Amino acid sequence: KPHRVGLSPNTSSCHKSFAKPGFQVYCCPPKPESEEPVIDFEFPDPSVPLRIRKRVHLRDSDYIAKYTRALKIMKSLPYDDPRSFGRQADMHCIYCTGAYNQKYTNDILSIHRSWLFFPWHRMLIYFHERILASLIEDDTFSLSFWNWDAPEGMVTPDMYFKEPFIDTERSETHVRRPKVADINYNFVESNLKPEEQISKNLAFMYHQMVSGAKKVELFMGCTYKPGTNNSCDGPGTVELAPHNALHSWVGKESNRYLENMGVFYAAARDPIFYAHHSNIDRLWGVWKELRNNEPEIVDPDWLESYFYFHNEKSQLVRIKIRDVLNITKLGYDYEKIDHPWLNARP
Ligand code: C2O
């Protein structure tokens, strides 16, 4: 029996999937990806200056104007176009609900609650950013991050109250200023005063990033390998919360499944998803830096796992986890800021 390394999707297997037990969805591409030519990922030209992702709440009006233009174009593309906003959102739906089977078995492939979480989402927003940049022909365009781990960032950023960043499917009680987010929200209102919520959030961040994340697996998530007996269900600290918690906090309570942000099949329909995930992506780097940038995982089953995404030229690209472990090679970086939670040891 050949040794099969890493997880990857069988792109001819896209099928209806379960967003929640008993709730079926269909988010497959109009034309199967298996019928398209595939190219292997190549790093962007290293002579192009790094795109710096910054805090969204401090972005200026020039930046917002650019992003507005790019997102409007992306939203106006037809669903047939893999660069369209609808298709981007459905990529998340496909991989989060298990619409693809694994390459060598009929087990479904899912990218949450395991060590696939960080790298897969890095890929998704990487291509999303490249597509936005190309739609406005501006190589310097970068996404921004929702800095919910710092006091000034713990409210919904202003930009998301204006078109085209508005999403009507958001919580009416949480997503309003100056409501401070409960980054460990668990469907119960904390009812804390703003200052109390802020210090609780900071102490929580310290736990999720430092004291509760000392072992690699605790932060990165469980070891998910190909084959029927190798599935796992063990999200990393930050994946569970603030990641999942803020998804639920933003989603609209009166929707059955807390659409959009509160349920994964619909989450990426909300533009705030990309700022949320930029912060998640940044925190992966911060955690790694706190460990002196030691490689987090060297298991080939992780490094060789690969997925498919469309790039800004609508080409289908095969990209491995090993390709996304160094963000400067990917042509971007995050602005360097302090981590207020580092001093918030409870
Ligand atoms: Cu795939 Cu924030 O979720």
ipTM of the predicted assembly exceeds 0.90: yes
pLDDT-derived band of residue 242, with 50, 70 and 90 as boundaries? very high
Could you give the number of structural domains in the chain?
A: 1
Place of tokens 């199967």: 32
Residue 2 domain-assigned (yes or no)? no
Domain range for 44: 9-343
Residue 90 domain-assigned (yes or no)? yes
Q: What is the per-residue pLDDT across 7-45, written as a single tens digit (0 to 9) for each?
A: 999 999 999 999 999 999 999 999 999 999 999 999 999
Residue 278 domain-assigned (yes or no)? yes
Residue 3 domain-assigned (yes or no)? no
Total-model pTM: 0.98
How far is ligand 1, taken at its centre, from the CA of residue 261, in Å?
9
Q: What is the per-residue pLDDT across 159-181, written as a single tens digit (0 to 9) for each?
A: 999 999 999 999 999 999 999 99
Edge to edge, what strands does the sheet with 332-334 contain? Answer: 144-145, 51-55, 332-334
The CATH number of the domain holding residue 273 is 1.10.1280.10
Q: What is the per-residue pLDDT across 35-52, written as a single tens digit (0 to 9) for each?
A: 999 999 999 999 999 999
Q: What is the model's pLDDT at position 228?
A: 73
How far is ligand 1, taken at its centre, from the CA of residue 264, in Å?
6
Please spell the DSSP secondary structure of 7-23, one letter per residue. Answer: --EETT----EEEETTE
Residue 93 domain-assigned (yes or no)? yes
Cβ–ligand 1 distance for 113 under 6 Å, the answer: no
Q: What is the per-residue pLDDT across 243-288, written as a single tens digit (0 to 9) for each?
A: 999 999 999 999 999 999 999 999 999 999 999 999 999 999 999 9
Q: What is the model's pLDDT at position 125?
A: 98
Orientation of helix 61-76 relative to helix 117-135, angle to 10°: 90
**Which residues are 320's β-sheet partners?**
306
Residue 4 domain-assigned (yes or no)? no
Q: Ligand 1, residue 244: give the atom nearest the CA.
A: 2
Q: What is the model's pLDDT at position 286?
A: 98
- Which residue CA neighbors atom 3 of ligand 1 most closely? 264
List of residues 6+ apart from 332 with CB closer than 8 A? 50, 51, 52, 53, 126, 129, 142
List, by residue number, the catalytic residues.
92, 112, 121, 243, 247, 264, 277
Q: What is the model's pLDDT at position 2?
A: 61
What is the total residue count of the chain? 346
Residue 1 domain-assigned (yes or no)? no
Residue 36 domain-assigned (yes or no)? yes
Q: What is the model's pLDDT at position 40?
A: 98
Asked if residue 1 has pLDDT above 60, the reply is no
How far is ligand 1, taken at its centre, from the CA of residue 324, in Å?
17
